[in-house]
Amino acid sequence: MKEEHQKIYKKLEPMKSIDIEKAEDTDELVTAMGKTAFSGRALGEALEVLWDMVNDKNCLKVLTLSGAMTMAKMGLIITQMIEKRIIDAVVSTGAIISHGFIESAGLTHFKNPGNISDEKLRELRLDRVYDTLESESNFDEADKIVTKVLEAQDTEKTLCSHVLVRELGKYLYENVKGKSIFSAAYKNNVPIFIPAFTDCEMGLDFALYNRKQKMAGRRELQFNPFLDLEKYSDMVTKAEKTGILTLGGGVPRNWAQQVAPFLDIYKYRILAGGDEKKYEAMDAKDEYYKPFWYGVRICPEPVHWGGLSGCTYSEGVSWGKFVPRSQGGKMAEVFADATIGFPVLMKALFERMEKNNIKL
């Protein structure tokens, strides 16, 4: 064998057949999967990236959520992540947070028995999300709490999603027993951002409240989504490094990721005045150079359909959203259903943290 070929062979990592009888816990199982192939390997690699991200004390850790994660009963895992300080900020669809609020308020979702037509479900005021049912009465009960919180807001101040979610979290923390995303986020000062706030039941509640205010001749509440962008950008700017864990795609993923090019064009267009020489003269590692150092995504969507919102991590490198692997960036992409991959991955991470006495 040629010498140059031998050098390449020596760098190759050998695979290993998985022995489930020797795996004493989920951590060891997922670690072993990292030496197999396909999505099993990807999940094992994702665990290693998350482990490095969690142990990086200089890293701001962001969780982005899309799909129906709270209705699919992933809410408690997210709550535990917040309590363990595994994440510092959440970016989510409004639907996930709305359904999560319902769960946080002690209301119930149901399995769809499969033998009731959608027409009949409509008559019963039961909304179907694939194999799960949400009663319209849940939304009615949630609206009562949202309205109570909105009534307590100062009409002279402008609201945004993370402020409103914090106020709702405070109410649930003080009035509803049990663990929940809202209460945990409030208690641990973890902001929850909803970029597409009007695209959910909670956003509609806000709109209806303002309609009632207008009809009664009272001042409406003001809402400015750019306050969320400024808050999030400020958190990223102050962080030495950033990492992201993404379930699905959608607006949350891209909104969270685009902070890197946003800060970069701020640097170019505003600070450098569009002057390329001034821009190039600035330190490439300054406070406005903020690509993500760590990235883990669990999403079943293949690249070629064009629905992988926020793009692959390698594509994101071209936008300046991620640090290239050649420069130390660590990324793992798992093409799988998050309701399968996410609980297994987090269980493995929790176990490893406990074995190593890691408390953030």
| Residue of 278, 321, 330, 359 marked catalytic | 321
Q: Which two tokens stand for residue 33?
A: 């999967």
Amino acid at 11: K
Residues facing 80 on adjacent strands: none
Q: Rounded to an integer, what distance in angstroms lies between the CA atom of residue 13 and that of residue 7?
A: 13
Q: Which two tokens stand for residue 82?
A: 């917040």
Q: Which two tokens stand for residue 131?
A: 């194999």
Is-contact 31 47, C-beta < 8 A?
A: yes
Is-contact 127 100, C-beta < 8 A?
A: no
Q: Which two tokens stand for residue 202?
A: 């909670």
Instruction: Show Cβ contacts of residue 63 under 8 Å, excluding neighbours closer than 6 positions.
Output: 78, 81, 87, 89, 90, 91, 244, 245, 246, 247
Q: Which two tokens stand for residue 179?
A: 């663990």
Task: Please give the C-alpha separations between residue 61 and each of 197, 240, 256, in angstroms, as whole numbers.
Answer: 22, 11, 11
Is-contact 166 191, C-beta < 8 A?
A: yes
Q: Rounded to an integer, what distance in angstroms lies between the CA atom of residue 290 and that of residue 259?
A: 8
Instruction: Show Cβ contacts of residue 287 under 8 Å, excluding neighbours closer than 6 positions.
Output: 237, 238
Q: Which two tokens stand for residue 319?
A: 């936008």
16 is catalytic: no
Residues facing 332 on adjacent strands: 296
User: The tokens 């099993």 sit on which residue?
Assistant: 40
- At 195 the three-state DSSP class reads coil
Catalogue the active-site residues: 321
